[in-house]
Amino acid sequence: MELFNALLLLLATSILLIWLWLKNNYSYWQRRNVETAPFSYLFGTLKDVTLQKEAFSTGTLKLYKKYKSKGAKHVGLYFLWETMYMPIDVDLVKSIMQVDFQHFVDRGVYVNEKADPLSAHLFSLEGKKWKLLRNKLTPTFTSGKMRMMFETLVECTKGLGKVMDEEMGEAVDIKDILGRFTTDVIGSCAFGLNCNSLENPKSEFREKGKAVFEKDFWENLKEVILFLAPNFMKKLNISLTPKDVSDFFLNVVKDTVAYREKEGVVRKDFLQLLIQLKNKGKLVDDEKVAEENITDEENSITLDEICAQAFIFFEAGFETSSTTMTFSLYELSKNKEIQEKARDEVRRVLERHQGKLTYDAAMEMRYLEQIINETLRKYPPLPVLNRICTKEYRVPGTDLVLEKGQRLMIPVIGIQSDPEYYPEPEKFDPDRFSEENKKNMKPYTFLPFGDGPRVCIGARFGMMQTKVGLAALLLNYDFEVSEKTKEPIDFEPKSFVMLTKGDVWLKYRRIAEIEL
Ligand code: HEM
Ligand SMILES: *[C@@H]1O[C@H](CO)[C@@H](O)[C@H](O)[C@H]1NC(C)=O
Ligand SMILES: *[C@@H]1O[C@H](CO)[C@@H](O)[C@H](O)[C@H]1NC(C)=O
């Protein structure tokens, strides 16, 4: 009997303690006088997102709209059981990303050099390590380097035309073709390999690339928890990258590096620049290193670091650009006058450049760039940006103090769909980005590449790759929606990047025979 009583007492105490913990944990924002979004114990605020019933972008957009209409400066959320802070006011967003960057240096995403070497890349690295690597890698993305790689990029459009002709029929899944195109581009620019996924859709590169983004329920659950509560997962020493993907990429990069060093092969791509950094600590034609007075030794990178960077260039580079191209073509199919105008521009610019698509020619395609920007506004591939507070921060104009370790999410999708900044936000209107209208744009309302010192390092390359792909397609093909096209587009709930759910079918026909 005594044992029974003791057990009962233990049980009652546990329940009481759990209850007290829940009460305390989920009253965090209330105690700080921050308006709190409705939440449920255990699942937190974005319950449907956690349960993978709703896309992250959709859930965030709803929250943004609700609190913006209440005139809130910010709102307090719970992700699972961790607190999350969401700024709404764009001046506050600017403070966080740029002005007071020193308080928000990191993203607070998963990184574990030991258990998962591929996770130690620029996107996830923190503090000093990030800063050092960012300085080393910045010279690989200058416009001079883009010019150097341009040829390699245009080369990949040949395979694109071939596949388009082969698959011509009733309608085609354009998302898949473009995914194969950007896989080839990044494969040849980041890894120096001809991955041939345009010709061979089952190529290992394409399969592994897809595996990073198309996950099953359990893999995605791991990622959701990693995103919502990375601290918890770090303690468990779990690798985010699936073992087969990780082995594949590590081997590919290491083999290629070894081959080039042994045979003295030099190619015009990112990998070559990374190898130079490894061996020389600088890029030979770069004065900047000398100026900054960094010894070459300190500035060099290791083979493992090369692998992780090549991997993030691949991960960050192919899906973002191919979804942007997909959404662009979808919108152009629905808005035929805009498509015509873009095609006219491509033709006129090429005529001025003797029919050759050069770096300078691409730079001159301004209207095409407006189309890409309008696509990135409506469909930002990263609908939410994250930061973590690295130094206590008093939110300007309030008495709220964000503690060190507090995570933040910046609602890019909300800001870019806000009628205050973009009247009729549902309308696809590239003229929003015309020379004239751009002058009236409010700063920090267009964030598809992020901003501040953590801004996308590959933005130039991403823009260039998207432009080249679209120019090559518009020149020779006319696009239309078909009966098979799903409308409106549905977003994939099992992904943090903004992906369409299922395929995107478009109809097209050849209208010219122009080789680039
Ligand atoms: C249309 C194409 C692309 C889009 C929309 C895009 C978007 C973004 C965004 C939103 C961020 C986070 C910025 C922030 O937190 O403020 C980012 C970071 C990053 N992106 Fe991109 N990206 C694109 C293409 C690329 C390409 C082609 C590469 C590499 C070749 C790349 C490499 C990276 C890296 C390494 C980071 C982390 C930078 C750092 O933390 O220092 N991205 N990108
Ligand atoms: C984490 O895993 C790696 C390799 O899987 C191992 O080397 C390391 O010792 C582990 N660390 C902890 C704290 O368990
Ligand atoms: C498109 O957006 C990028 C990134 O914000 C910007 O640098 C570029 O000037 C924009 N181009 C146009 C035509 O608006």
Lookup: tokens for 33: 């006088």
Which listed ligand is nearest to 234 at the C-alpha? 2
Q: Is the CB of 235 under 6 A from ligand 2?
A: no
CA-CA distance, 416 to 441, in Å (whole number)?
A: 11
- How high does pLDDT run on average in the chain? 87
**Res 284: pLDDT:** 56
**Res 329: pLDDT:** 95
Exposure of 79 in the CB half-sphere (CA atoms within 13 A): 22
- 450 domain residue, yes or no: yes
Most confident of 22-36, 229-243, 500-514: 22-36
**Res 148: pLDDT:** 87
Q: Is the CB of 369 under 6 A from ligand 3?
A: yes
Q: What's the mean pLDDT in 273-283?
A: 80
Q: What pLDDT, in 10s, does the model give residues 307-332? A: 898 888 888 888 899 999 999 999 99
Which range is least confidently modeled, 36-40, 52-56, 71-75? 52-56
**Res 474: pLDDT:** 97
Which listed ligand is nearest to 246 at the C-alpha? 2
Q: What pLDDT, in 10s, does the model give residues 106-118? A: 998 878 887 788 8
CA-CA distance, 457 to 140, in Å (whole number)?
A: 9
Domain range spanning residue 457?
32-510
- 12 domain residue, yes or no: no
Does residue 270 contact residue 142 with C-beta atoms inside 8 Å?
A: no
Q: Residue with structure tokens 């006011």?
A: 89
Which range is least confidently modeled, 212-216, 348-352, 402-406, 505-509? 212-216
The count of structural domains within the chain is 1
**Sequence letter at residue 343:** R
**Å from CA of 116 to ligand 2 middle:** 9
Q: What's the mean pLDDT in 377-390?
A: 95
**Res 460: pLDDT:** 94
Q: What's the mean pLDDT in 348-355?
A: 95
Q: Is the CB of 469 under 6 A from ligand 1?
A: no
pTM beyond 0.85, yes or no: yes
Q: Is the CB of 114 under 6 A from ligand 2?
A: yes
Q: What's the mean pLDDT in 265-269?
A: 81
CA-CA distance, 49 to 29, in Å (whole number)?
A: 21
DSSP string, 346-384: HHHHHHHTTT---HHHHHH-HHHHHHHHHHHHHS-SS--
- 195 domain residue, yes or no: yes
User: 473 to each of 21, 176, 289, 430, how far by Cα in Å?
Assistant: 58, 15, 40, 19
Q: Confidence band (pLDDT; 50, 70, 90) for 228?
A: low
In this structure, the number of other CB atoms found within 10 A of the CB of residue 251 comes to 11
Which listed ligand is nearest to 123 at the C-alpha? 1
Q: Confidence band (pLDDT; 50, 70, 90) for 80?
A: confident
Q: What pLDDT, in 10s, does the model give residues 354-378? A: 999 999 999 999 999 999 999 999 9
Residue 287 has pLDDT above 70, yes or no: no
Counting from 1 in the atom list of ligand 2, the atom nearest the Cα of 112 is 1
**Å from CA of 497 to ligand 1 middle:** 12
Q: What pLDDT, in 10s, does the model give residues 135-150? A: 988 988 899 889 988 9
Q: Is the CB of 373 under 6 A from ligand 3?
A: yes
Whichever domain contains 423, its CATH number is 1.10.630.10
Q: Confidence band (pLDDT; 50, 70, 90) for 32?
A: very high
Exposure of 180 in the CB half-sphere (CA atoms within 13 A): 21
Q: What's the mean pLDDT in 235-258?
A: 82
- 14 domain residue, yes or no: no
Residue 289 has pLDDT above 60, yes or no: no
**Å from CA of 248 to ligand 2 middle:** 21
**Res 291: pLDDT:** 46
Q: Residue 498's closest CA among 374, 386, 379?
A: 379
- 353 domain residue, yes or no: yes
**Å from CA of 324 to ligand 1 middle:** 13
Residue 242 has pLDDT above 90, yes or no: no
For ligand 3, atom 14, name the residue with the nearest CA. 433
Greater confidence (342 vs 273) lies with: 342
Q: What percent of the chain has pLDDT over 70?
A: 90
Q: What's the mean pLDDT in 197-213?
A: 70
Q: What pLDDT, in 10s, does the model give residues 1-17? A: 788 888 999 999 999 99
CA-CA distance, 366 to 225, in Å (whole number)?
A: 41
**Å from CA of 383 to ligand 3 middle:** 18
What is the torsional sign of CA 369, 92, 402, 36?
negative
CA-CA distance, 249 to 208, in Å (whole number)?
A: 9
Greater confidence (206 vs 414) lies with: 414
Q: What pLDDT, in 10s, does the model give residues 449-492? A: 999 999 999 999 999 999 999 999 999 999 999 887 777 777 77
Which listed ligand is nearest to 368 at the C-alpha? 3
- 16 domain residue, yes or no: no
φ, ψ for residue 152, nearest 5 deg:
-55, -40
**Res 192: pLDDT:** 75
Greater confidence (413 vs 136) lies with: 413
Q: What's the mean pLDDT in 384-398?
A: 95
CA-CA distance, 242 to 248, in Å (whole number)?
A: 10
**Res 89: pLDDT:** 97
Greater confidence (422 vs 202) lies with: 422
Exposure of 387 in the CB half-sphere (CA atoms within 13 A): 32
**Res 300: pLDDT:** 78
Which range is least confidently modeled, 48-62, 311-325, 333-347, 497-511? 497-511
φ, ψ for residue 57, nearest 5 deg:
-65, -40
**Res 388: pLDDT:** 95
Greater confidence (365 vs 51) lies with: 365
Greater confidence (290 vs 346) lies with: 346
- 228 domain residue, yes or no: yes
Which listed ligand is nearest to 314 at the C-alpha? 1
φ, ψ for residue 155, nearest 5 deg:
-50, -40
Quote the longest CA-to-CA distance of the chain: 96
What's the CA angle centered on 105, arms 101 and 108, to 5 degrees? 140
Residue 297 has pLDDT above 80, yes or no: no
Greater confidence (405 vs 282) lies with: 405
**Res 292: pLDDT:** 46
CA-CA distance, 142 to 125, in Å (whole number)?
A: 21
- 163 domain residue, yes or no: yes
Counting from 1 in the atom list of ligand 1, the atom nearest the Cα of 312 is 35
Pocket test for ligand 1, best of 449, 496, 499 (most atoms within 8 A of CB): 449
